[in-house]
Amino acid sequence: MRLKKLSLSLLAAAMVASIGTPAVAQDKKESDPTKEQFIPFLTYRSGPFAAGGSGTASGGEDYLALLNLRDGGINGIKLVWEECDFGYNTDRGVECYERLKARGLKGAPVIQPWSTGVTYALIERSLKDKIPLVSIGYGRTDATDGRVFPYVFPMITNYWNQSSAKLRYIAQLEGGEDKLEGMKIVNLHLKHPYGNETIPVWNKLAEKFGFEVTHIPVPWPGIDQKSLWLQVRQIQPKYVINRNWGVSCTVPLREAARIGFPRERIIGVWWCGSEEDVIPAGAAAKGYITAAFHAAGRDIPVIQEIFEVVYGQMKGNISAARVGSVYYNRGVVTAIVVTEAIRLAHTKYGVGPIGGEEMQWALENLDITEARIKEIGAEGLMPPTKISCFDHEGGGSVRFQQWDGSKWNMITGWIPPYKDLVREMIEASAAKYAKEKGITPRDCPPA
């Protein structure tokens, strides 16, 4: 009996320990803090959004592993990382940030929350701790104004520019902007800060171009959307914007098939544009279109190299079958951005571990050109990006991909957003935030 109790206690202790201890990638026997660059990974490998979380985290880690295995790190500085799984819960995300922010010789140089909710929750903390908050393809849009948000970087493209690029794409499909007048568009969005984020920009665009937008909120988790699609059927829109996340991205495709709404006229956010979003919908997903800020697939040199080098040495962080999937490649893109910023920081501060303030300078001066993208082997994977103190986004253009029943195909080049309109909104919103928080905006020359 005593032995049984002891065994159960040991089992329980082992389980608690395994839950509480995040994955650590350091090689203990060679550990030298002065020759290591720590990078924290906030992840969600379990729970309702695990397909996205596991893909992005593994893509990022595999790229770091490639640099370590192929180049010995960055300028001889080995990259080490640690995961903290927060299950896409905002409170646990903040807890993970607090746990990881002081790791490494100079603390965390950057934090990527992979959640709009956590991004919002960390804005003030990251400013206080001087740790850049990088949210590529998500997060708070008005943080694009670097004068008000010096430590927040919604890079490559933010949600408002994405939405305006979607409208430009719709105008192209319809034969011109003049065709937008009187058109009906439904914005089917998750009832959540992430889902609500684009309501203002759609209203502004509707006002400018004279189309009618109806916002239909999807209550989380959105597993049954019949009543919402019956409303869509009554409204009879020309296009439906699918701004959901996780299972709520898939359900609209099935519902659309039920009411005979063409999938070619559903335009999804890039968080509804992965293989995991369409495969469960089967034939109902065929023809569905989403925005994208990077390419999917393995026929990209850097992805092939990861496969050969990292997976060739059995050091990969996910099933090899998922290498090249949408979420995986997204993780690679974000790791490229972060590591390019570390390289740049070395040129100013010297080769060694980089801290948050040094990283902030590097991110604000980052210029990933077409030539550099080619050198990295990421040609076709990501767009050029140039960040400045004034503009923390550094791009804004969007491509569109379509599901053919078995894979995503890029169907457009880079489509620019209505940047002037969006920038005006960003500045107004950032100024309001600055006033509320008593922030004096920095003086930055327009990019």
Binding-site ranges for another protein (CB under 8 A):
45-48, 50-51, 54, 191, 215-221, 223-224, 226-228, 230-231, 233-234, 246-247, 250-251, 254, 257-260, 276-277, 279-282, 284, 319
Spatial CA neighbour of 151 closest among 336, 342, 364: 364
Give the shortest CB-298-to-another protein separation in angstroms. 18
Whole-angstrom Cα distance, residue 219 to residue 225?
9
Of 217 and 441, nearer to another protein (C-beta) is: 217
Q: Are 293 and 157 in contact (CB under 8 A)?
A: yes
Residues near 350 by Cβ (< 8 Å), separated by ≥ 6?
none
SS (H, E, C) 295-310: CCCCCCHHHHHHHHHH
**DSSP one-letter string for 145-190:** BTTT-TTEE--S--HHHHHHHHHHHHHHHHTSGGGGTT-EEEEEEE
Of 9 and 31, nearer to another protein (C-beta) is: 9
Give the shortest CB-222-to-another protein separation in angstroms. 9
Spatial CA neighbour of 255 closest among 221, 287, 232: 232
Give the shortest CB-377-to-another protein separation in angstroms. 27
Give the shortest CB-427-to-another protein separation in angstroms. 28
Residue with tokens 């993208």: 373
Give the shortest CB-139-to-another protein separation in angstroms. 22
Of 191 and 265, nearer to another protein (C-beta) is: 191
Give the shortest CB-93-to-another protein separation in angstroms. 18
Of 57 and 336, nearer to another protein (C-beta) is: 57
Token pair for 291: 């925005």
Of 179 and 286, nearer to another protein (C-beta) is: 286
Of 72 and 405, nearer to another protein (C-beta) is: 405
Whole-angstrom Cα distance, residue 211 to residue 204?
10
Of 220 and 390, nearer to another protein (C-beta) is: 220
- What region does 414 belong to: left with phi over 0, alpha with psi -120 to 50, or beta? beta
Give the shortest CB-183-to-another protein separation in angstroms. 20
Q: Are 267 and 172 in contact (CB under 8 A)?
A: no
